[in-house]
Amino acid sequence: MNTHPSGKTMNIIGFSKYGKPSQLKKTNVAYPHGFDASNNIVIKVHASSINPVDKALLSGDLKMVRPVASFPHIICYDVAGVVEEADLEGKFSVGQPVFARLFGNENDGKKTPWYRGAMAEYCVADTANVVMKPDNLTFEEAASIPLVGMTALQALKSSGLKEGDRIFISGGAGGVGTIAIQLAKNVFKAGLVVTTASKGEKENLCKSLGADVVIDASGVSNYKNTRFDEVYGGNNDEKFDVCFDTTAESHEMSKIVKEGGKIVTIAGMPTLEEIRRIGGTAWILKLFLKRKERRKEFKSARSVGANWEYLFLSPSHEDLSTLAGYLESGEIKPVLDGIWNFNSEDTEEGWQGAFNRSFSGRAKGKCVVQITS
């Protein structure tokens, strides 16, 4: 990384090559500099959270879609903290508490700068992706929201969910699922919210968030028990207006969606159309991505008179601001699996424990690393 003109540095968590989680290292790099100060701010990071996409980025699974611009690369893109350096346009002031999703410059044809990662003592954020932190949230709670909150909100808006509708959400105890349940019940006013989760703590969590029915998730994916299509695969009145897939099971959801209903997925392989929508133009994508109409999930949904689509998160200041309002009013609340210490090298209590827990897929809600107390 480039040296700061005055030699100022900061600690980060990042990786110097694609690979396994063991590639993540804590190291010291230059303090952010050389960015466009007109519409960017520097945030003194108080907390950052981990998402499944971070594991995919680390492994190299996304390098043809969103390649790392340079190494070492700072991981994670959800952040909450205090403005350290304000933008020249004056949208934010030093000392203001904010939270953000760091999208970089994927949509304008430029490479994402090295300083875009959030698991660091400082980060740079485009003001278009930053909003004020609600006073009733801790920095750790605020840092858990951006990706999962905007993903859930955009998926439900895209689905056409209306008041009184029946919605099925797979993976209700996950980061996106916990927010989707609350939005469906408290904001969109769904008439019935059904989800999947394993019995015990995750089942109880989903019910506490507003799920009317929780189907035993030991019948889904790699387990054997009750399957959701066996419970809701009967007549059309028992089926769902909307199915939201967070667990790569949208093909099976054609059995439980109503005629005229919609299935939205954020899991598995994206469609060629969705990659193009977010700015991916590499010709090689055509070699391994199918158009929506050729996907078995689309064909299966169409065979029952329903629609299917894949959704990638899009930058939206409006959506993040809307979520801040819902958080402030209490209509939705953050769900944290735990908080880990950035400055600790303990493999359980320190930052490594957070990544191990999140990447295991067993977390209830979000895993957050506290960077500044």
pLDDT of residue 270: 64
Question: What stretches of the chain adopt beta strand conformation (E)?
Answer: 9-15, 25-30, 40-50, 73-74, 78-85, 97-101, 122-126, 130-132, 166-169, 192-197, 213-216, 240-245, 257-265, 307-310, 336-341, 366-370
- Give me the pLDDT at residue 222, please: 43
Range list of H helices, the chain? 52-59, 139-143, 146-159, 175-182, 201-209, 228-231, 272-277, 285-288, 296-303, 317-329, 351-360
First-to-final CA distance of the chain: 27
User: pLDDT tens track of the chain, all 373 residues?
Assistant: 577 778 899 999 999 999 999 999 999 999 998 888 999 999 999 999 999 999 998 998 877 767 777 788 999 999 999 999 999 999 999 999 999 999 864 434 444 454 479 999 999 999 999 999 999 999 999 999 999 999 999 999 999 999 999 999 999 999 999 999 999 999 999 999 999 999 999 999 999 999 999 998 774 444 444 578 777 876 777 899 999 999 999 999 999 999 999 999 998 766 566 556 655 555 445 544 556 666 788 798 999 999 999 998 999 999 999 999 999 999 999 999 999 999 998 888 999 999 999 999 899 999 999 998 7
The residues near 280 (Cβ < 8 Å, ≥ 6 apart) are: 65, 66
Question: Domains of the chain (ranges plus CATH)?
Answer: 9-145+334-370 (3.90.180.10), 147-310 (3.40.50.720)
How confident is the model at residue 175, as a pLDDT? 96
Cα angle: 318, vertex 313, 173; to 5 degrees: 100
- For 78, the 3-state DSSP assignment is strand
Q: Hey, how many other C-beta atoms are within 10 angstroms of the C-beta on 209?
A: 24
The predicted pLDDT at position 109 comes to 41
The H helix count followed by the E strand count for the chain is: 11, 16
Paired with 194 in beta bridges are 168, 213
Which residues partner with 283 through β-bridges? none
Contact 239, 254 (CB under 8 A): no
Whole-angstrom distance, CA of residue 356 vs CA of residue 21: 8
pLDDT score of 308:
92
C-beta of residue 205 within 8 angstroms of C-beta of residue 181: no
- pLDDT confidence of residue 35: 86
**Alpha-carbon distances, residue 246 vs 117, 187, 262 (angstroms):** 24, 19, 14
Q: Tokens for 236, please give them.
A: 């059309």
